[in-house]
Structure 1
Amino acid sequence: MERSAVARSNNGRLTQVSRPKKRRLIDYPRYGKRGIRRWIPSWRFVLGTFLTFFALGVGVFIAAYNSVTVPDDASSIAMQQTTTVYYADGKRVLGEFSQVDRKIIDTTAIPEHVGQAVVAAEDRTFYKNSGIDVKGMARALYINITQGKRQGGSTITQQFAERYYMGTNTSYAGKIKETLLALKLGQEKDKAQVLDGYMNTIYFGRGAFGIEMAAQRYFGVPASKLTVEQAALIAGVIPSPTNWDPQNNPEKAESRWNYVLDGMVSLGFITQADRANMEFPETIEYDKTNRYQGVKGYLLDGVRKEVLSKVDNMTEDDLDTGGYKIISTFDYAAQKDLQAAMKTMPDGASKNLRAAGVTIDPKTGGVVAMYGGKDYLKQQFNNATQGSAQAGSTFKPITLLAALEQGYSLDSYYNGNNGRTFDDNGTEWKPNNFGMVNWGWISLTKAIANSVNSVFVELNQQVTPQATVDAAVSIGIPKSTPDLNPVLSNVLGSATVRPIDLANAYATFAANGKRHDAHMVAKVKNADGSTRYEPNIKGKKAYDAAVGAELTYALSQVVEQGSATKAKVIGHPLAGKTGTSNDNKSAWFVGYTPSYATAIALYQSSDSGSQESITPFGGYNEITGGSVPLDIWTTYMGRLLSDKPVEQFPDRTYQPTMKPTPTPTPTQTATEEPTEEPTTEEPTEEPTTEEPTAPPTTPEPTEPPVTQEPTDPPTTEEPTIPPVDPPTGPTDKPKPPGGGGGNSGGAGGGATDKPTG
């Protein structure tokens, strides 16, 4: 082809002359074309590009295919391994999820119907396909891309290949290797060999790998003795052995059993007449042995649930057989201390009493120790993470937090008299103080130390109940918590909370306003040592650090001069709050240091699951937050902190924006008379029952004279850390009858605490 050019002739004129066109190897953009045609590739260009990439792809495929090694037999397959859970140090073993048992046998020596059942269950084109299912692979790819779920190949040969690359097949590169191996297996091994390898390596649940161990775990017989009905059941559970085990899901197991038998009929393995006479077989009981026995069962179960919910594409069976190394957040020494402290609880409690304990690291949100019950094998219900109870006065610090965020001062004075009337959404409500005591005008610091109901109901009215709800959510109480409503009584703990959530909320207090998510898994490692999962422990700011230091100071006074003075024996700076719900349905102590936040909870549930009043035991007339829970907390934390350095809480730097309410004049003093109804809050000081008179000059009112004998005179002996051995009885003087009970009126039933010492 030629192209024209302009030249000057002999006579001087310009004329068109032809010039040969210069060819290019890749004519793109197209030479000599204008406009859009310049950018439209020619058919030669398109064809050449396709052939080039096709040839390149074929070359890569051939090279990859040749690099794949076919295993000699099932014993050379990269078998699954046991997943192990460790304590936080990564060295001491907490437990295992499933003990892997396997036994290689010659499956050609077992009844033919066993392999036929597997084919009918997993790959009905097995004897016809080349080892791969193109449609199944396309479907799997589509699901992976659109739904983000891992979907494997559907043929038996592909699944057998997947066993070889166990641990690396989550990536697309791993899937390509599986496909190439499946193709090569289909070419180099006959169907009997492939089926033999598959049945010897596949996981059947109950910790059994291979058909031999499966036969023993499900029916107590060797594989050579399996009937058609039994083989169909075992083959049916292969896609999800743990979930479809007839011991766990009999309906699904029977549905799959019918599916396999119907497939055997359609493939000509058995007759319809034989099928009609078959009955669903009974399996033997599978015992998980003692791996989950005792308190550690709750720890393992908590770790397992968290891994399954947090790690992408992790299934029950993957977790059991993947050989993962899971490092938990549980500290071995702290866990032993907590379990020992829980054993100090006095005898005589109701069989319906539930005890829970949770310690959380405020710096990370990691659960350091947890007590969910005595024995997981006897009760698969975790009292710390699944159970819940009314929070009681442990919610008062949350309202105090809302007030501090709004600029309130701890030096403000409030009317602490009993029997005051409040408007709770149009309903008159008279929440009582413990013992129907008139405290007079007292500061917020003194009110939180002695848990004075009337003061905190008024404070909640001022800051608004919605602010209390918002503050609770900000520090880690889930929005979905039952009865977490913006009503006036929420300050007294009408919400029903889980112990782990309340411990996490107080961990936010301990972290000076930095909130973390409570978690039990520190790291998940693959079998090859690479990291599969780590939680985010950066945390999120819930409120200002100055507010946090002020709140912690207020809660430290609960220990220094209020309802939890027993804990002073530990000798470390402490802060916390006692709490007892309406009608003594729950009793709490939740306290913290800069490094540990611990909740100890007792609550009682009837046989139907409803909350009921805690039956007194151990010599106590009432079980309150300041009795058994505080005793356990002090024993446990005393031992946990005994070899730890003393940590100080942050200095107070808070500057209120609202002026403190001054000490009122005598004419402002409340004159309400106490009601006859009992309350659920016990003062630790000796307030008057006469009309109080406020001191005119001092910023903090002096103690009014005592006109009645206190129910619990303070001890004069030097306290000691309670021993690990169960105590013979409380050191406190038993309460007189009628000293407790619920608050009168009030939406949701106000909740308060009754310390006993």
Structure 2
Amino acid sequence: MARAAVRPVSPAAGVPGGPDGSGSGKRGGADKILTKASKRRRRTNILTAAAAVLVILLGAGVVGGTYFFDSVDFEEPTAEAQTTQLLASDNKTVLASLGQFNRSIVPDGSINPLIKLAVVSAEDKGFYKHNGIDMKGIARAAWNNFTGGEVQGASTITQQYAKYATKRKEITYNVKLREAVIARKMEDVYSKDQILGRYLNSVYFGRGAYGVEAAVKAYFGTNRSALTPVGTKGAITAGEAAILAAVIKQPEPTATHKGYDPQNNPTDALDRWRYTVGNMAELALPSGMAEAGVPAGISPPTAYPKTWIRWDADKCSTTCGNNKPSAKIVKYVKRELRDMDISDAELNQGGLQIRTTINPEVQSLAEKAANGKSKKSPLNDMDSTYKSALVAINPTNGRVLAYYGGPDAASWDYAGPNYKDDGKTFVGGGRPPGSTFKIYTLLAALSDGYGMDTIWNSELKKVNGGGKISNSGREGGSLKCPTPRACTLEVSVEQSYNFTFYWLADKLGPEKVIEMAHKAGIQLIGDPETTARYDLNKLSEDELKSKGYGREVGFGQYAVTALDHANGVATIANDGMYIKAHFVRSVSQRDPKTGKFVAVKNTGEKIKPQRAFSADVAAAAQNVMQKIPGINGISLDGGRKAIGKTGTWEFTGKGGKDGDNGDAWMVGGTREIVASVWIGREKQNKKTNQMDLLPIYKYGTKPMNGGSTPGKIWKMFLDSASDAIKAENKPFLPNTTAFVDPNKKGNGEEPPPPPVVTPPQNNPICQIFPQQCQNNGNGGNGNGGNNGNGGNNGGNGTPGITLPAVPGGDNGNDINGGGGGQTDGNVDTPN
């Protein structure tokens, strides 16, 4: 905000003569060279100026004129636009700022009185004596304007605020006189302290700071405040107050002057500071000043304070944090505020302080784990086409602790829904969850009475003349089942076999699986045929059924978001109690009297647990899901108990090959923190300007699966985040079968009973060395010695020992024993 200050008189223009001419730019010799016409014009200007001054001083025609005075309306100035800050759960860390102006309105009566004194000293020494109008200043400005100087106005604080309040930028005589009338009327409506407070809350101090509170933080640090009482720790001192007051005259550089910010112009800043301090001493220091609330006994400063901080001109002022990954939560905050009856207009007006659920330390750990630019991230050595998402939730209260959907705020959000600029029109979000979605099919089956020991057939083809059920190449003898037609539900979960979940979706109906997913926390799900997403809160049962979801829903064909998926896993970890994931903990605004932030009525989090499925069902699901991190080699450190599920979805775009994956997931967590992790890949097509999906690999051309890179990110994050929040190693529920309906059967065949193996008694070697005849294998019987070791050295059995021929005995002639393990002996990683 520019103040009305008298600028230096410009040199005379149009004067004849050159460098040696006696009248070159000097008013003293002008009479000798002025023509008669120019003399007449000058006399006219002088008389006009004198008349104007006389009119103003006498109050006959303008300021004092009744008609003009009454014709100028005074209206209550509109509320100042402020900044709304989104803070982390620590109520200190700024995650994002909303609003056009970096301003925070503070109560008039609570502003440090030394700041008030300094501003009065710098801008208007007679503030507490005049009635809003400086008649001498008006006369001086009028004389200057009519005698060839630039158009000027007067300089009282009340008039400066009147100019600001009327939103007038031009400087004309009529405008300046109207401002004077408004200033006079303001003095009848507001007290001096109110006018000064309003001025301090509106004036621009440079460095992007509007108002005194923002200015204090911009010049002296975010831990300082204009509201800290004089004499207490952190309070603005008289010298610091003078720095703030000194910059108001011209906060930023122009073409003709560098301004009074000490960083830009230390010499002039010091001169202006000395002027301000001198006036402070004259007005109130050390005697005190009751009008300004300045206590007695404060000595005038003698040295320019060194406490001011340097300012980065490229640093944010109104959008601090807005380009960080955490700023992607703004859209969720806005939606939650609307539900609290805080409109977008109220939010844009600013002045709110919103405490979010984001834990700043956990957020940082999420970014380190999931951001490929982080040196410690498992994605660090992969190219920029790889995209990732990570969302972490506290299952006991639904608070989102960390949210990573991409490296900055402006890019596509891979963790949640994306909207147009209006914030309401959905444009996309979510990816096929693959086998991680089996947890909801499992919950639906258990809730319907199916037990973990129900048996399922891998050889049945799809219904309605369909083909083979894809099972990632694992079939026949490679299945970890007694026979291909006898796989239990428990083993199917552990090994992530697709066929079991296809047939469960067939028996239950796809809608029942989706309904269970919705109860657990899934809000959006992809359309079976298009890229559309459906809000499950708005679909009736009949509408859902009409969409035509197939049985493939049982193993994750249809897109969901990482946020929803984390919420679903949180419900399992919370023993079947659903609590909606949310981002807002509290909403506050300044009390106009005390200046302290107080809660806005009817706002804040409302935690309402709802039973999604029984605790017995949750216990059974927890029991089998606790095995999965270990199976995939990503158990948490220190034996910390955790549930989990891996998943992938095949790549179907151009350029891929058979067996490639396009999406890889790992979801799960502990009693205190759960996380969903997704990895995909895309690249912008220069011809179409669209994003082309690409296959994902872990090393070279080996397809990435959920237990590999996503699993490493998941483990890295949960290990560090659990330590950060000092999480206890809480156990999950003990397993139970109380929910099982014995009439619920699978479609498999009962496996044949295992053969009874009796050690041979007619071999003398067995009588001398009985341990040589024991069955030590894990994968079946060798041809003779019963010492098979699980198949091609992949299991843990004791290798068979070829015994010497003994009359009447059988020779063990197969040291590898029965099949069943992997040929390379590695840990099997399900999809």
Equivalent-residue separation in structure 2 for 1:221 and 1:372 (angstroms): 40
Residue identity opposite 1:437 in structure 2: E
Residue identity opposite 2:438 in structure 1: K
Deviations 1:399-422 (A, max 9, x none): 1111111111111111134xx311
Q: 1:553 aligns with which of 620, 623, 645?
A: 623
Q: Tell me the CA shift for residue 658 of structure 1.
A: 3.1
Is the Cα contact below 8 Å between 1:302 and 1:520 reproduced in 2? no
Q: Does 1:413 align with 2:442?
A: no
State the partner residue of 1:331. 359
Alignment CA distance shift 1:597-1:655 (3 Å): same
Is the Cα contact below 8 Å between 2:325 and 2:406 reproduced in 1? no
Equivalent-residue separation in structure 2 for 1:489 and 1:302 (angstroms): 32
State the partner residue of 1:456. 501
Q: Secondary structure at the match of 1:524?
A: strand
Q: Secondary structure at the match of 1:428?
A: coil
Equivalent-residue separation in structure 1 for 2:694 and 2:753 (angstroms): 39
Residue identity opposite 2:403 in structure 1: M
Alignment CA distance shift 1:711-1:291 (3 Å): farther
Is the Cα contact below 8 Å between 1:347 and 1:618 reproduced in 2? no
Equivalent-residue separation in structure 1 for 2:84 and 2:722 (angstroms): 33
Q: Tell me the CA shift for residue 427 of structure 1.
A: 5.3
State the partner residue of 2:443. 401
Equivalent-residue separation in structure 2 for 1:287 and 1:401 (angstroms): 48
Q: Tell me the CA shift for residue 186 of structure 1.
A: 10
Trace 1:422-571 onto structure 2 (pairs within 5 A).
422-423=462-463, 426=464, 428-438=466-476, 439=479, 440=484, 441-478=486-523, 481-483=526-528, 486-528=549-591, 529-532=597-600, 533-560=603-630, 562=631, 564-567=632-635, 569=637, 571=639
Q: Tell me the CA shift for residue 355 of structure 1.
A: 0.7
Q: Tell me the CA shift for residue 306 of structure 1.
A: 4.3
State the partner residue of 1:143. none
Q: Tell me the CA shift for residue 436 of structure 1.
A: 3.7
Equivalent-residue separation in structure 2 for 1:380 and 1:108 (angstroms): 51
State the partner residue of 2:220. none
Q: Tell me the CA shift for residue 352 of structure 1.
A: 3.0
Q: Which moved more, 1:288-297 or 1:493-502?
A: 288-297
Alignment CA distance shift 1:493-1:531 (3 Å): same
Q: Percent identity?
A: 24
Is the Cα contact below 8 Å between 2:433 and 2:649 reproduced in 1? yes
Q: Tell me the CA shift for residue 482 of structure 1.
A: 3.7
Equivalent-residue separation in structure 2 for 1:609 and 1:381 (angstroms): 16
Q: 2:397 aligns with which of 349, 359, 364?
A: 364
Q: Secondary structure at the match of 2:703?
A: coil
Q: Does 1:586 align with 2:586?
A: no
Trace 1:363-382 onto structure 2 (pairs within 5 A).
363-376=396-409, 379=411, 381=413
Q: Tell me the CA shift for residue 660 of structure 1.
A: 6.2
Larger Rg over CA atoms: 2
Is the Cα contact below 8 Å between 1:308 and 1:316 reproduced in 2? no
Equivalent-residue separation in structure 1 for 2:519 and 2:337 (angstroms): 26
State the partner residue of 2:716. 635
State the partner residue of 1:645. 728
Residue identity opposite 2:450 in structure 1: Y
State the partner residue of 1:621. 702
Alignment CA distance shift 1:385-1:592 (3 Å): farther
Deviations 1:717-744 (A, max 9, x none): xxxxxxxxxxxxxxx9xxxxxxxxxxxx
Q: Structure 1-normalised TM-score?
A: 0.54
Q: Tell me the CA shift for residue 633 of structure 1.
A: 0.6
Q: Which moved more, 1:305-314 or 1:660-669?
A: 660-669
Equivalent-residue separation in structure 2 for 1:382 and 1:185 (angstroms): 54
Equivalent-residue separation in structure 1 for 2:345 and 2:568 (angstroms): 31
Q: Tell me the CA shift for residue 94 of structure 1.
A: 4.2
Equivalent-residue separation in structure 1 for 2:350 and 2:445 (angstroms): 52
Deviations 1:203-238 (A, max 9, x none): 9xx96759xx9xx9xxx998999xxxxxxxxxxxxx
Q: Secondary structure at the match of 1:537?
A: coil
Q: Tell me the CA shift for residue 595 of structure 1.
A: 1.5
Q: Structure 2, unaligned stretches of length 5 or more?
A: 1-73, 105-118, 125-151, 176-181, 216-247, 258-312, 419-428, 529-533, 535-546, 592-596, 652-660, 755-777, 781-795, 798-815
Equivalent-residue separation in structure 1 for 2:779 and 2:468 (angstroms): 19
Higher relative contact order (CA 8 A, sep 6+): 1
Is the Cα contact below 8 Å between 2:89 and 2:360 reproduced in 1? yes
Deviations 1:159-186 (A, max 9, x none): x9xxxxxxxxxxxxxxxxxxxxx9x859
Q: Tell me the CA shift for residue 288 of structure 1.
A: 5.9
Equivalent-residue separation in structure 2 for 1:514 and 1:494 (angstroms): 26
Q: Structure 1, unaligned stretches of length 5 or more?
A: 1-72, 128-156, 161-181, 226-283, 670-685, 689-701, 716-731, 733-752
Is the Cα contact below 8 Å between 1:303 and 1:328 reproduced in 2? no
Equivalent-residue separation in structure 1 for 2:527 and 2:356 (angstroms): 29
Residue identity opposite 1:658 in structure 2: P
Is the Cα contact below 8 Å between 2:82 and 2:103 reproduced in 1? no
Q: Tell me the CA shift for residue 454 of structure 1.
A: 1.3
Residue identity opposite 1:100 in structure 2: N
State the partner residue of 1:7. none
Q: Secondary structure at the match of 1:85?
A: strand
Equivalent-residue separation in structure 2 for 1:317 and 1:576 (angstroms): 42
Q: 1:598 aligns with which of 642, 666, 675?
A: 675
What root-mean-square deviation, in Å, do the aligned CA atoms of Structure 1 and Structure 2 show? 5.1
Is the Cα contact below 8 Å between 2:779 and 2:818 reproduced in 1? yes
Is the Cα contact below 8 Å between 1:101 and 1:207 reproduced in 2? no
Q: Tell me the CA shift for residue 544 of structure 1.
A: 1.5
Deviations 1:690-724 (A, max 9, x none): xxxxxxxxxxxx99976487366336xxxxxxxxx
Q: Structure 2-normalised TM-score?
A: 0.50
Q: Tell me the CA shift for residue 490 of structure 1.
A: 0.8
Alignment CA distance shift 1:624-1:108 (3 Å): farther
Residue identity opposite 1:535 in structure 2: E
Q: Secondary structure at the match of 2:678?
A: strand
State the partner residue of 1:100. 102
